[in-house]
Structure 1
Amino acid sequence: MRARPSSRLLVLDPQDRLLLFKFVHLAGALAGQQFWATPGGGLDPGESYEAAACREMFEETGIRIDHPGPQIMQRAVTFTLVDGEQVSSDERYFLIRVAHDGVSSTHWTELERAAITAQRWWRREELAATSDRVFPEDITDMLRRAGVW
């Protein structure tokens, strides 16, 4: 199983709503299943978690940042990517506040265009009440422990 270190982005707008993308598995045993997750992705060779957070922020939202906010969580997890590959990931979660809720898909990869079916800014209450699959599963607790929600 491939190791995939990644930076995940907890992007909050001025109303403290959290940006999540809805993904669909495109291949493998989970094909067709959908879930919500934070923007972010794997590190490029030689890239730091912080640099990857900045790059992913621009690529996935169109918003350019010079440095991410604080890292508020780290977790080791095994999961299946949307293309069907199972990976072992060291995920670092960075809190990023933005001035507006405008998001651009201009810099998405072909795989992102195929796998991301929606984007949404979630209020804490909405996220806590949803029956949709959301990763990480404890995201509301994570933000509460960090003093955000």
Structure 2
Amino acid sequence: MGERRPGSPERRVARVVLLDPEDRILLLHGFEPADPESTWWFTPGGGVEEGETREQAARRELAEETGITDVRLGPVLWRRSCSFPFDGRRWDQDEWYFLGRTTQTRTDTGGHTELERRSVTGLRWWTCEELSVAHETVYPIRLAELLRTLLDEGPPETPVILASEIV
């Protein structure tokens, strides 16, 4: 993960809404390293590295964070800007969420970075129904609603711009 310097552009991020054959979504469970009681669920993904496209970054991050490499990457579903404190820094991000489909449901976190090892407790496949009744924090906000729309209507013609999230 990189830190934004004042006056610099938002960090470019590629995320994956990864669905298995049963339409379950894979989420990672994270926490603030300085406050392990502060937890949330989030989609796999991360920063775009020099010379990478967002699609290449999505595939790389998915492999590193989940061990899943057998994925059909589809269109960009959603875009959002977000800003949040994490690990003693402020992160300002421009996130693109790609649709991903896989039959590979076994995960492997061996590719996690040092920061991910300090801030991710595991992964879980969620049904839309489980997500809609969860009382835990999930990012992006309204993910259960967004997933239900995706499953009912299919991918949007053009990416949906989500409300900015500033924490």
Provide TM-score, normalisation by structure 1.
0.88
Quote the Cα distance in structure 2 between the aligned partners of 1:65 and 1:135: 24
Q: Report what 1:98 is aligned to.
A: 102
Aligned to 1:73: 78
Gaps of 5+ in 1: none
- Secondary structure of 2:109's counterpart equals coil
What CA RMSD, in Å, does the superposition of the two structures yield over aligned residues? 1.9
Deviations 1:49-70 (CA, angstroms, capped at 9, x unpaired): 1110011111111122586221
Cα distance in 1 between the residues matched to 2:144 and 2:24: 11
Are the counterparts in 2 of residues 73 and 142 from structure 1 also a CA contact under 8 Å?
no
Number of equivalent positions:
145
Flag the 1:118–1:148 CA change in 2: closer, same or farther, 3 A: farther
- How far does residue 46 in structure 1 lie from its aligned partner after superposition? 2.9
Sequence identity percentage: 39
Alignment partner of 2:45 out of 40, 43, 47: 40
> How do residues 1-149 of structure 1 correspond to structure 2 at under 5 angstroms?
2=4, 3-27=10-34, 31-32=35-36, 33-64=38-69, 68-81=73-86, 83-146=87-150, 147-148=153-154
Residues 50 and 67, structure 1, Cα contact 8 Å, conserved in 2 = no
- TM-score scaled by structure 2? 0.79
